[in-house]
Amino acid sequence: MFSAKNFPRGRVCGVLFPLLAGLGLSACNESAAPPSAAAALTASQDDMVLIPAGPFVMGSDKTDDSGKQDEYGLVKPLYLDEHPQRTVELPAYWIDKYEVTHRQYRGFVLARKIPEPFEWSQNGYNLHEDRLRATDLKSLRWIATEYFKLDIDTRRSGRAELLRLMLADQQAKDVLPVTGVTWFEANRYCHWVGKRLPSEAEWEKAARGSDGREFPWGNDWDAGLANTGDNEDWDEGMAPVGHYEKNRSPYGVYDMAGNAWEWVADWYKPYPGSDYFVAEAFGEKNRVIRGGGGGMGHYALSEFFRSAMRGFAVPDSKNTDVGFRCARDAEAAP
């Protein structure tokens, strides 16, 4: 697959030291009032786009004539799993305009008492505001340095300044795409809000439109239009959802190139009529991921961000650059 390192697996309560005991989310502490699924659905229902029924071009017949696989030492051949290009007819459906954010997923964590993404326990995002306000100044200074990584001399900072900066940091993270979740967790979240993961075909149509374009914005590559990980130093490699205004598909769906790879519903299998087959990858063992990730860094080749590009990952893996968005049948109008 094309993605960054895996997170450690297992239940992490965000408490690596005794000092932080009791400060985490209700996956480990039940003091917070969890939002309901209905409330979460109401909050997100305006951020869906209706994709009309009709045909679109799926896949490609491209070949790696310039030898980029060898040039960049890629294990997975370029383009071959996209073969053959074909026309696919889909009924109308809804898809999220943006990738699911930390804030949205946090409601799920609180309501279902499930483990939060591991990274939250390392960057302070899982710490309750009320508990932070009740923490003594010495401990706040330590938390601000070790977890929030505030770029100030915390030894000279008072409680008010530290709290303001830490809460502002959490608010900035609210609108980042959630990553470090398994396919199963992404699937459960979508069902919790009355939705589902999009199929691979639904994802690609929402990205390409009906004209078979290479990228959501058109056929010409421009690294400045998306978070490829090679253009700006975003916190944890992710940009706020919707930040790149021109990284918008013909239907108005954002961030379908770069930022986070996205889980889709399908197993990674060859397309109908394909003569390309890789026994160790294909089958009901890997799920498809789409979109290319901001963690690509200097490996940010334009090929990774094409709308027909297919990646894959083991469904129980947790990756720093893999998130998701949800979809819904058109009959279940938002």
Assess if residue 18 is contained within a domain.
no
Assess if residue 158 is contained within a domain.
no
**Tens-place pLDDT, residues 144-156:** 999 999 999 999 9
DSSP per-residue string spanning 227-261: --SSS---GGG-PPTT-STT-B-TTS-B--SSSSE
Whether the bond between 34 and the residue before it is cis, its omega within 30 degrees of 0, is no
Q: What is the pLDDT of residue 24?
A: 53
Assess if residue 17 is contained within a domain.
no
- Would you call 168 helix, strand, or coil by DSSP? helix
Instruction: Using DSSP bridges, classify how beta strands 93-96 and 311-313 pair: parallel, antiparallel or unpaired.
Output: unpaired
Determine the Cα–Cα distance for residues 285 and 263; give it in Å rounded to an integer.
14
Q: What is the pLDDT of residue 332?
A: 61
Assess if residue 201 is contained within a domain.
yes
Assess if residue 242 is contained within a domain.
yes
Average pLDDT of the chain, as a whole number: 87
- Would you call 96 helix, strand, or coil by DSSP? strand
**Tens-place pLDDT, residues 100-109:** 999 999 999 9
Instruction: State the CATH number of the domain containing residue 73.
Output: 3.90.1580.10
Assess if residue 138 is contained within a domain.
no
Confidence band for 293, pLDDT divided at 50, 70 and 90: confident
Question: What average pLDDT score do residues 269-295 get?
Answer: 93
- pLDDT reading at 245 higher than 60: yes
Report how many domains make up the chain.
1
Determine the Cα–Cα distance for residues 207 and 99; give it in Å rounded to an integer.
13
Assess if residue 39 is contained within a domain.
no
**Tens-place pLDDT, residues 160-205:** 999 999 999 999 999 999 999 999 999 999 999 999 999 999 999 9
**Domain enclosing residue 285, as ranges:** 47-101+177-329
Q: What is the pLDDT of residue 38?
A: 55
Assess if residue 209 is contained within a domain.
yes
Is the Cβ–Cβ distance between 121 and 24 less than 8 Å? Answer: yes
Question: Strand runs (DSSP E) across the chain, as ranges?
Answer: 48-51, 54-58, 86-90, 93-96, 261-267, 287-290, 311-313, 322-324, 327-329
Question: What average pLDDT score do residues 271-298 get?
Answer: 88
Determine the Cα–Cα distance for residues 200 and 134; give it in Å rounded to an integer.
47
